[in-house]
Amino acid sequence: MNESNYVEAFEELQEIVGEMETGNINIDELAIKVKRAAELIKICKSKLKATELDVQKILDELDDVTENN
């Protein structure tokens, strides 16, 4: 999976959570699923932070343009 693809990471994370909620994971798979979920959370958090920074940069640029006019 492309690590920058938030949608795919989030969907896979939802699947893992759903399996855990319904009890469809046997004990042997649990540790693997928890590790994968942690990786997916890191991917999502990283993408959200990058997006937040991009949006803030755009807003700052818009403020600069507005202030200079």
pTM: 0.77
Q: What is the pLDDT of residues 15-61, one digit of tens each?
A: 999 999 998 888 889 999 999 999 999 999 999 999 999 999 999 99
Range of the domain at 36: 6-68
Q: How confident is the model at residue 66 (pLDDT cuts 50, 70, 90)?
A: confident
37 domain residue, yes or no? yes
The CA distance from 43 to 1, in Å, is 11
- Does position 69 have pLDDT exceeding 80, yes or no? no
What residue type is assigned to position 39 of the chain? E
Total count of domains within the chain: 1
SS3 label, residue 1: coil
Supply angle C-alpha 24, 38, 27, rounded to 5.
30
1 domain residue, yes or no? no
Q: Hey, what's the torsion of the CAs at 38, 42, 44, 47, to 10 degrees? A: -170
- Does position 4 have pLDDT exceeding 90, yes or no? no
42 domain residue, yes or no? yes
Higher pLDDT, 24 or 3: 24
